[in-house]
């Protein structure tokens, strides 16, 4: 029987030690350290650059970073079966704010990332239910989004846009009068908080339906459609200091359950490219390994979605919110009569407003307002709205009903009133506080944009108290 040469046998043993059971603390450490540079290169070729499939700023990334920052040397070396050298290097280079910093550590590669992720899941190092995990670069990204958004609005104004419009959802189909009635029979007792505390309570509301594109465009073009709800007669201090005493509560929804941006970093990149008129470059770059395929798929599905009327579409919050102290939830508004994607014959550039006006002249409409609870922090993450929460595992529960009565909403006074309303998910009771990175960005961006456009338009920001339209 032919035996391996000693050097080959050592190489095989080292490989088996790496991928299977790990090595004893110091048996081969000196020899391994001599080959450190070559081993690091092999890690790169086997996936070191992409951290073995662990997406940056993701739930799994938070697991790995928590382990890297908190696990003991013995846990890294013995329990996770890492190279002793890798374990020592991880401890020595702490703390880590990003996967990139951890990825730069000598002897940390695909195997170490895999082991740390698995150990984090098994031993409770990962973010749990209702738990946010803030990436280290979020403040910088948020500032960049605010700057780009303000420059966009100011630039449109400087070029003659009057009045100054929102940076997103600038085209409204109209604001309609509505009533929101709490119906909490389907909710467990610890979900009956905030708005949903008093069964049968009816709040007057304003609802603004809109297109999402940064530039007002024909309704026949593919676009995100928005449903912004402002409840009135809502007592209690609100989160935003400027509007702490306002008796209103906002809910913001769109007609897709997921977003094409996952976090503040993506928000910056997409916003800047969209404002520059080249949003496609967000999905494709020079490096195919960095193409955003999932985000592209979401965008194409959203743009392909046809709707018959704003009153016949379903809407989702996409981002999560607190529901008291016990839950994180997402919201959805479902039309009582079902959805429809059949456009009217001869649909024109403003057909959504026209159809809605026709329908509300003929009769009332309604929506069921629902909540969906987070039950799994990994598959239903707080920080990634590009992932849909599974409605089979966690069904939506009816929490209220929205009644939109027969009405006209297209008078010049009401159109002007609609234009100068502000909607912000942070204009909220603490029981419904927004969660996740996209919502944290929104807090700064929405407030800054609202302040700028009201200043440019020389109109004060005022929260409505009832269904009265000034000037009518």
Q: pLDDT per residue over 331-386, tens digit each?
A: 999 999 999 999 999 999 999 999 999 999 999 999 999 999 999 999 999 999 99
Residue 24 has pLDDT above 60, yes or no: no
131-183 per-position pLDDT tens digit: 999 998 899 999 999 999 999 999 999 999 999 999 999 999 999 999 999 99
Residue 45 has pLDDT above 70, yes or no: no
Confidence grade of residue 13 (pLDDT, cut at 50, 70, 90): very low
Q: Please choose, from the candidates 247, 241, 230, the residue with its C-alpha nearest in 3D space to the C-alpha of residue 178.
A: 230
Q: Please choose, from the candidates 249, 178, 271, 257, the residue with its C-alpha nearest in 3D space to the C-alpha of residue 224.
A: 257
Report the 10 Å Cβ neighbour count for 221.
10
Token pair, residue 46, equals: 């086997």
Query: Measured at the alpha carbon of residue 14, what is the angle toward residues 9 and 19, in degrees to the nearest 5?
Result: 130
Per DSSP, 223 falls in state: -
Beta strands in 101-237 (DSSP E): 171-182, 202-211, 225-232
In order, the DSSP letters of 183-204 are --TTS-GGG--GGGGSTT-EEE
- Domain positions in the chain are 6-123, 138-456
Report the 10 Å Cβ neighbour count for 241.
8
Selected residue with higher pLDDT from 336 and 5: 336
Question: What is the distance between the terminal CA atoms of the chain, rounded to a whole angstrom?
Answer: 99
In angstroms, rounded to a whole number, what is the distance separating the alpha carbons of residues 78 and 310?
Answer: 59
Pair 228, 203: CB distance under 8 Å: no
Which uninterrupted H or E stretch holds 121? helix 110-123
Cis bond before residue 95 (omega within 30° of 0): yes
User: Mapped to the 3 state alphabet, what secondary structure does 13-38 carry?
Assistant: HHHHHHHHHCCCCCCCHHHHHHCHHH
Residue 17 has pLDDT above 70, yes or no: no
Which uninterrupted H or E stretch holds 61? helix 59-70
Phi/psi of residue 469, each to 5°?
Answer: -105, 120
Residues contacting 324, CB < 8 A, separation 6+? 190, 191, 193, 194, 431
Confidence grade of residue 295 (pLDDT, cut at 50, 70, 90): confident
Mean pLDDT of 263-276: 83
Which uninterrupted H or E stretch holds 251? strand 248-254
- Rounded alpha-carbon distances, angstroms, from residue 58 to 54, 114, 229, 387, 451: 8, 15, 30, 11, 32
In angstroms, rounded to a whole number, what is the distance separating the alpha carbons of residues 367 and 360?
Answer: 14
| 3-state DSSP assignment of residue 177 | strand
In angstroms, rounded to a whole number, what is the distance separating the alpha carbons of residues 114 and 424?
Answer: 40
Q: What are the beta bridge partners of residue 340?
A: none
Mean pLDDT of 187-207: 98
Confidence grade of residue 39 (pLDDT, cut at 50, 70, 90): very low
204-251 per-position pLDDT tens digit: 999 999 999 989 999 999 999 999 999 999 999 999 999 999 999 999
Beta strands in 42-201 (DSSP E): 171-182
Q: What is the predicted pLDDT for the residue at 4?
A: 25
> What pTM was computed for the model?
0.88
- Rounded alpha-carbon distances, angstroms, from residue 252 to 39, 270, 426, 442: 51, 20, 10, 11
In angstroms, rounded to a whole number, what is the distance separating the alpha carbons of residues 230 and 380?
Answer: 27
Q: Does domain 138-456 have CATH number 2.40.180.10?
A: yes
Residue 15 has pLDDT above 50, yes or no: no
Residue 25 has pLDDT above 70, yes or no: no
Confidence grade of residue 52 (pLDDT, cut at 50, 70, 90): low
Residue 458: Cβ-neighbour burial (10 angstroms; 0-12, 13-18, 19+):
exposed
| 3-state DSSP assignment of residue 133 | coil
Confidence grade of residue 316 (pLDDT, cut at 50, 70, 90): very high
| 3-state DSSP assignment of residue 58 | coil
Q: Where are the alpha helices (DSSP H) in 185-327?
A: 264-275, 293-304
Residue 188 has pLDDT above 80, yes or no: yes
């Amino acid at each position: 029987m032919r035996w391996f040469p000693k050097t080959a046998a050592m190489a095989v043993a080292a490989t088996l030690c790496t991928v299977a059971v790990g090595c004893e603390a110091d048996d081969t450490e000196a020899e391994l350290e001599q080959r450190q540079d070559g081993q690091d290169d092999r890690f790169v070729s086997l996936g070191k650059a992409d951290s073995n499939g662990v997406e940056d700023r993701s739930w799994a990334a938070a697991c790995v970073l928590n382990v890297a920052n908190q696990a003991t040397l013995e846990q890294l070396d013995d329990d996770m079966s890492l190279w002793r050298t890798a374990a020592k290097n991880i401890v020595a280079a702490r703390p880590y704010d990003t996967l990139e910093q951890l990825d730069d550590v000598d002897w940390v590669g695909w195997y170490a990332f895999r082991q740390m992720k698995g150990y984090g899941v098994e031993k409770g190092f990962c973010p749990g239910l209702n738990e946010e995990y803030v990436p280290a670069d979020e403040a910088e990204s948020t500032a960049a989004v605010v700057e780009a958004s303000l420059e966009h609005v100011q630039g449109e104004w400087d070029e003659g846009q009057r009045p100054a419009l929102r940076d997103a959802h600038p085209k409204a189909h109209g604001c309609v009068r509505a009533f929101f009635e709490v119906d909490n029979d389907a909710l467990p007792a610890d979900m009956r908080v905030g708005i949903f505390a008093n069964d049968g309570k009816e709040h007057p509301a304003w609802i603004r339906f809109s297109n999402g594109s940064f530039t007002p465009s024909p309704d026949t073009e593919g676009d995100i459609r928005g449903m912004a709800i402002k409840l009135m007669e809502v007592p209690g201090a609100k989160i935003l200091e400027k509007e702490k005493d306002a008796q209103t509560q906002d809910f913001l929804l769109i007609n897709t359950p997921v977003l094409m941006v996952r976090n503040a970093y993506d928000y910056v990149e997409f916003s800047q490219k969209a404002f520059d008129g080249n949003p496609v470059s967000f999905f494709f770059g020079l490096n195919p390994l960095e193409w955003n395929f999932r985000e592209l798929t979401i965008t194409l599905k959203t743009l392909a979605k046809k709707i018959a009327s704003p009153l016949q579409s379903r809407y989702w919050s996409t981002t999560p919110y607190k529901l008291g102290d016990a839950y994180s939830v997402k919201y959805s508004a479902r039309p009582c009569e079902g959805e429809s994607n059949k456009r009217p014959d001869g649909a024109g550039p403003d057909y959504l407003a026209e159809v809605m006006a026709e329908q509300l002249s003929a009769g009332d409409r309604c929506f069921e307002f629902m909540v969906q609870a987070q039950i799994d922090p990994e598959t239903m993450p707080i920080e990634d709205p590009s992932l849909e929460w599974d409605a089979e595992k966690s069904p939506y529960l009816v929490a209220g009903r929205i009644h939109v009565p027969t009405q006209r909403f297209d008078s010049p006074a009401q159109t002007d009133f609609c234009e100068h309303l502000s909607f912000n998910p942070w204009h909220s009771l603490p029981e419904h506080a927004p969660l996740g990175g996209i919502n944290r960005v929104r807090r700064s961006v929405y407030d800054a944009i609202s302040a700028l456009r009201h200043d440019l338009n020389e109109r004060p920001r005022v929260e409505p108290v009832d269904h009265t339209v000034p000037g009518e």
